[in-house]
Amino acid sequence: MSVDWIGIGALARRSGVTASALRFYEVRGLIHSVGEAGQPRRFRKDALRRVSFIRIAQTLGLSLNEIGEALAGLPQQRTPTAGDWARISSAWRPMLQARIDTLCQLRDQLDSCIGCGCLSLQNCKLNNPGDGAARFGDGPRFLLGNGPEDMA
| pLDDT tens for each residue of 8-35 | 999 999 999 999 999 999 999 899 898 7
Cα of 92 vs its chain's centroid, Å: 10
Domain ranges of the chain: 1-80, 95-152
Query: Domain 1-80's class?
Result: mainly alpha
Q: Enumerate residues 6+ apart whose C-beta is below 8 A from 26.
A: 32, 33, 41
φ and ψ of 43, to 5 deg: -120, 150
Indicate the pTM of the whole model: 0.67
Structure confidence by residue, pLDDT tens digits, 71-111: 888 776 566 788 888 998 899 999 999 989 888 877 877 76
Distance CA 115, CA 48 (A): 45
